[in-house]
Amino acid sequence: MRRIVTATVQNRSGVLNRVTGLLAKRQFNIESISVGRTEAEGISKMTFVVDVEDERKLEQLTKQLNKQIDVLKVSDITDKAIVASELALIRVVSNAQIRNEIQGIIEPFRASIIDISKDSLTVQVTGKHEKIEALIDLLRPYGIKELARTGLTAFLRGQQPQVAEMKNYSILK
Amino acid sequence: MKVEAKPHYETQTKPKSGADLLVDALIQEEVKTIFGYPGGAVLPIYDALYRSGDAFHHVLARHEQGSIHAAEGYARVTGKPGVVIATSGPGATNLITGIADAMMDSLPVVVFTGQVARGVIGTDAFQEADVMGITTPITKHNYQVQSLSDLPRIVKEAFHIASTGRPGPVVVDIPKDISTEVDDNPPSVEFSLPGYQPNLKPNPLQIKKLTDAMAQAKKPVLLAGAGIHHGKASEELKAFAEQHSLPVVHTLHGLGTFPGSHSLSFGMAGMHGTYAANMALYECDLLINIGSRFDDRLTGKLEHFAPKATVAHIDVDPAEIGKNVPTQIPIVSDSKAALEALLKNAAAAPSTEEWYKKLDNYREEYPLWYNKPETDMVPQWLMEKVHSYTGGDAIVTTDVGQHQMWAAQYYKLEKPNRWVTSGGLGTMGFGFPAAIGAQLAAPDEKVVAVVGDGGFQMTLQELSLLQEMKLPVKVIIVNNQALGMVRQWQESFYEKRYSESILSTQPDFVKLAESYNVRGMRIESQQDLEEKLPEALSNDEPVVVDCRVLQQENVYPMIAPGKGIHEMIGVKP
Ligand SMILES: Cc1ncc(C[n+]2csc(CCOP(=O)(O)OP(=O)(O)O)c2C)c(N)n1
């Protein structure tokens, strides 16, 4: 099962190492991690996308994370209403002639061109995993020279729907 | 060694160095005994210790591994944190086995390691090792002190974390320049750990679930683990077991939490446990696990472990619940608080008479057994003799191997915190230094170290401490001239190909002991033992007893690797 798990942590030295080391040691399969500061001083948030076998493994994952002294809160937000985003930078082979063509492709994705050189341009796109995958697929025929992606980062929407509706809002199901 | 002219320590009012602040903090924590070894990066700390006069009893083990195993023995017997100091680089890396051991066996240990100065960290400086990186996976928590003003708070947190909730080792890495830096304003020691709030009181609803399950159960069994030691809950365990006539089985570390001679005690379960204990786990319909982590040496093949049981698990560490065995009644709590709640909410007593009879019958039918030759010694008999000559009342430490299992089987313990062994990591070399820590923790108790001839040779340099500190530790070497447990597995599972497991060359253990000014003796037969051992065990002198036992003895009964708990072999002669 693919799950999105977030951890709020105290921003002390060693905390990232402790958390990632723990996941490796207990053989959890991590697809991506993103880490960054939050609105609160000294508090960071980690977002993990993990692939776990079953509920029991998932429970172990959250419990083991929770056990760490500097971890304040762990949530599996997969089935909640969330906003979630990744970012990708894609450098594509191009010249003046096909620049417009590419512009046309990326527009529906609300991506933007953030750098242009003689023989290439760089596209920046944010959003859901699937959306980014789709754009990459469309750009591939032009020749991708370089690709860099961040992990997913996410949090709950301001308003949570009734329990019965929740599933519809899940981005991974 | 004592130096007479040390000045008496006064809590100075002058500006203090980091090392002084550390000493103050240790005094605050009421530390009496420190297990340590000096070196470059901790010179300022050792200087502060020197200037502290007789504030502490410093134990200079002859290898850092000895320091930490002694600290573990101390922690196991007192329940208080063992304190260790080592220098940077090799001093710190020599501690690793012990830190990992303390982590696996949940022992409260606080370790201070020196580190190179902040300015050169990361430059491969002389005696630099990445202690944070190395110890992160084997500590409950670790710190590198980044600024002097953090030091007192970190020390306080370290002791708090090591000794509360599920105990464990905490490492504090102190760069040398922090130890020498001077601070005019005494820093604050206030701390808050919002991410660390161990839940100690059971949820009443879960307790109710358990008492309801008890009222239904026909075949309940109590599994007593180390959590009973940590929670100091032996009395409550006994009251609870007696209240409902619940059969009790033990994990290796749970030995002593319930009187071994009690009619409700069915002995140790697991790989070398008793047939009755394992069948109790196999056939039970309600398993109440208190403070055991369902280790694989206990459970055998998981699919055959307590297959018919409703499982209740009381543990202060929620991550242990459901980790290995699916659990229907999870109770996150300190063992004592949970047992108190259970005692108060006693449901109608389940009828266990038939169940008891069945288990009692197993116990009668399949007792521990061995064949006793005419004159030669076998290790099982040796353990029985050690038990009887010490009145079953010694603090027993063991190393790892066959002798450890025989000690567990034949040295029946009646009281808690008298059993010091390396269970989780299975660390050879643990037993003898652990006995030194145990003796320092309990100076008036008889401490017996049961060790193998192999494992003893891993840490025997600590013999120096017996004379130096006048510690009357009794070292019993169960000498089978082999790495016995390895030899046994090679015999049973590798068609007797004894690859590197026979120790045909050995030191003369008697002369070896004597060279450390410790009395040494050799015992080669049953008669020999009956003549010499009672005296050797009863006086107040340390002694090393080289007990020559038959090499071919194997530990039985046994659950072979990959087998279920009901598939024991060697249950009968
Ligand atoms: C540090 C370490 N190395 C290796 C082992 C593997 N091992 C387990 S038991 C054993 C044999 C121990 O021999 P000895 O100390 O003579 O005790 P015996 O089994 O003969 O009683 C070995 C090598 C271990 N547990 N620890």
Atom of ligand 1 nearest to the CA of B483: 13
- Tens of pLDDT, residue by residue over A37-59, are 999 999 999 999 999 999 999 99
The interaxial angle of helices B18-28 and B151-163, nearest 10 deg, is 30
Nearest to B157 by CA among B144, B174, B173, B170: B170
CA B129 to centroid of ligand 1, rounded, Å: 29
- Give the span between the Cα atoms of B36 and B112, in whole angstroms: 9
- Give the span between the Cα atoms of B75 and B83, in whole angstroms: 9
DSSP B8: P
The nearest alpha carbon in chain B to A10 belongs to B195
The nearest alpha carbon in chain A to B133 belongs to A17
Per-residue b or e along B421-434, where b marks 16 or more CB atoms closer than 10 Å to that residue's CB:
bbbbbbbbbbbbbb
- Verify whether ligand 1 is closer than 6 Å to residue B452 (CB atom): yes
3-state secondary structure B379-439: HHHHHHHHHHHCCCCCEEEECCCHHHHHHHHHCCCCCCCCEECCCCCCCCCCHHHHHHHHH
User: Across the interface, which of A13, A17, A22 has its CB nearest the CB of B146?
Assistant: A13
Nearest to B505 by CA among B488, B481, B479: B481
User: Across the interface, which of A9, A56, A67 has its CB nearest the CB of B319?
Assistant: A67
Determine whether A67 is exposed, middle or buried from the number of CB atoms within 10 Å of its CB (0-12, 13-18, 19+): buried
Looking at per-residue pLDDT, the higher value among A107 and B14 belongs to: A107
Clarify whether residues B293 and B357 are in a common domain. yes
In degrees and rounded to multiples of 5, residue B67 shows phi and psi of -60, -50
pLDDT at B186: 72
Give the CA diameter of chain B. Answer: 75
- The answer to whether B318 contacts A66, with C-beta atoms less than 8 Å apart, is yes
CA B451 to centroid of ligand 1, rounded, Å: 10
Do B479 and B509 form a contact (C-beta atoms < 8 A)?
A: yes
Atom of ligand 1 nearest to the CA of B429: 1
Q: In CATH, what number is assigned to the domain containing residue B44? A: 3.40.50.970
Give the residue, out of B104, B382, B486, B550, with the most ligand 1 atoms within 8 A of its beta carbon, to mutate for a pocket test. Answer: B486
Atom of ligand 1 nearest to the CA of B456: 15
- The answer to whether A17 contacts B193, with C-beta atoms less than 8 Å apart, is no
The nearest alpha carbon in chain B to A72 belongs to B195
Clarify whether residues B391 and B538 are in a common domain. yes
Clarify whether residues B276 and B401 are in a common domain. no
Q: Nearest C-alpha of chain A: how many angstroms from B310?
A: 17
The helix/strand/coil state of B497 is coil
Domain count, chain B: 3
Clarify whether residues B146 and B285 are in a common domain. no
B277 is a domain residue:
yes
Tell which of B103, B136, B199 to mutate to test the A interface (max A CBs under 10 Å).
Answer: B136
Write out chain B residues lying below 8 Å of A9, CB-based. Answer: 195
| Cβ contacts from A onto B, under 8 A | 45
Among protein residues, the one whose CA lies closest to atom 5 of ligand 1: B428
B560 is a domain residue:
no
- The answer to whether A25 contacts B318, with C-beta atoms less than 8 Å apart, is no
Clarify whether residues B325 and B419 are in a common domain. no
Q: Nearest C-alpha of chain B: how many angstroms from A69?
A: 5
Q: How many residues does the structure list for chain B?
A: 573
Nearest to B82 by CA among B122, B29, B135: B29
- Give the span between the Cα atoms of A3 and A23, in whole angstroms: 14
B127 is a domain residue:
yes
- The answer to whether B193 contacts A69, with C-beta atoms less than 8 Å apart, is yes
B561 is a domain residue:
no
The nearest alpha carbon in chain A to B197 belongs to A69
Nearest to B419 by CA among B541, B310, B256, B569: B256
Q: To the nearest 10°, the Cα dihedral for B129, B134, B136, B142?
A: -30
Q: Nearest C-alpha of chain A: how many angstroms from B353?
A: 36
Q: Active-site positions of B?
A: 64, 126-127, 176, 485
Q: In CATH, what number is assigned to the domain containing residue B361? A: 3.40.50.1220
- Give the span between the Cα atoms of A81 and B214, in whole angstroms: 41
Q: Nearest C-alpha of chain A: how many angstroms from B289?
A: 19
Clarify whether residues B499 and B398 are in a common domain. yes
Which secondary-structure segment (H or E) carries A30? strand A29-37
Q: Could you write out the DSSP letters of every residue in A75-118?
A: EE-TTS-EEEEEEEEEEEE--HHHHHHHHHHHGGGT-EEEEE-S
Tell which of A13, A67, A73, A75 to mutate to test the B interface (max B CBs under 10 Å).
Answer: A67
Clarify whether residues B355 and B408 are in a common domain. no
| ipTM for this prediction | 0.91
Do B30 and B78 form a contact (C-beta atoms < 8 A)?
A: no
- Give the span between the Cα atoms of B138 and B170, in whole angstroms: 9
Task: Please report, for residues B190, B487, B507, the alpha-carbon distance to residue B495 in angstroms, rounded to integers and kept in the order given.
Answer: 62, 11, 29
Pairing of strands A82-93, A144-149: antiparallel
Clarify whether residues B82 and B131 are in a common domain. yes
- Verify whether ligand 1 is closer than 6 Å to residue B401 (CB atom): yes
pTM: 0.95
- Give the span between the Cα atoms of B163 and B137, in whole angstroms: 18
- Verify whether ligand 1 is closer than 6 Å to residue B427 (CB atom): yes
- Verify whether ligand 1 is closer than 6 Å to residue B426 (CB atom): yes
Task: Please report, for residues B225, B237, B256, the alpha-carbon distance to residue B234 in angstroms, rounded to integers and kept in the order given.
Answer: 11, 5, 9
- The answer to whether B141 contacts A69, with C-beta atoms less than 8 Å apart, is yes
Write out chain A residues lying below 8 Å of B326, CB-based. Answer: 56
In degrees and rounded to multiples of 5, residue B537 shows phi and psi of -85, -20
B191 is a domain residue:
no
Q: Which domains does chain A have, with CATH numbers?
A: 2-80 (3.30.70.260), 83-155 (3.30.70.1150)
Structural domain including B122 reads: 16-183
pLDDT at A162: 74
Cβ neighbour number for residue B126 with a 10 Å cutoff: 11
- The answer to whether A72 contacts B318, with C-beta atoms less than 8 Å apart, is no
Write out chain B residues lying below 8 Å of A21, CB-based. Answer: 136-137
- Verify whether ligand 1 is closer than 6 Å to residue B482 (CB atom): yes
CA B471 to mean position of chain CA atoms? 20
Atom of ligand 1 nearest to the CA of B403: 21
Nearest to B230 by CA among B320, B111, B112, B330: B320
Q: Nearest C-alpha of chain A: how many angstroms from B458?
A: 28
Clarify whether residues B154 and B301 are in a common domain. no
pLDDT at B3: 39
CA A100 to mean position of chain CA atoms? 29
The nearest alpha carbon in chain B to A16 belongs to B136
B568 is a domain residue:
no
Tell which of B164, B196, B197, B332 to mutate to test the A interface (max A CBs under 10 Å).
Answer: B196
Name residue A121's amino acid.
Answer: L
Clarify whether residues B349 and B450 are in a common domain. no
Nearest to B174 by CA among B358, B23, B379: B23
pLDDT at A13: 86
- Give the span between the Cα atoms of B99 and B172, in whole angstroms: 12
Which secondary-structure segment (H or E) carries B310? strand B310-315
User: Across the interface, which of B137, B195, B323 has its CB nearest the CB of A60?
Assistant: B323
Of the residues B334, B365, B396, the one at which a domain ends: B365
Clarify whether residues B208 and B169 are in a common domain. no
pLDDT tens, per residue, chain B with 573 residues: 333 444 445 555 578 999 999 999 999 999 999 999 999 999 999 999 999 999 999 999 999 999 999 999 999 999 999 999 999 999 999 999 999 999 999 999 999 999 999 999 999 999 999 999 999 999 999 999 999 999 999 999 999 999 999 999 999 999 999 999 998 877 788 899 999 999 999 999 999 999 999 999 999 999 999 999 999 999 999 999 999 999 999 999 999 999 999 999 999 999 999 999 999 999 999 999 999 999 999 999 999 999 999 999 999 999 999 999 999 999 999 999 999 999 998 776 668 899 999 999 999 999 999 999 999 999 999 999 999 999 999 999 999 999 999 999 999 999 999 999 999 999 999 999 999 999 999 999 999 999 999 999 999 999 999 999 999 999 999 999 999 999 999 999 999 999 999 998 999 999 999 999 999 999 999 999 999 999 999 999 999 999 999 999 999 999 999 999 999 999 999
B49 is a domain residue:
yes
Among protein residues, the one whose CA lies closest to atom 2 of ligand 1: B428
Q: What share of chain A is helix, strand, coil (3-state, %, to 5)?
A: 35, 40, 25
Structural tokens at position B514: 């004597």
Angle at B436 between CA B431 and CA B438, to 5 degrees: 85
Clarify whether residues B101 and B62 are in a common domain. yes
B331 is a domain residue:
yes
Structural tokens at position A81: 């209403």
- Give the span between the Cα atoms of B531 and B525, in whole angstroms: 10
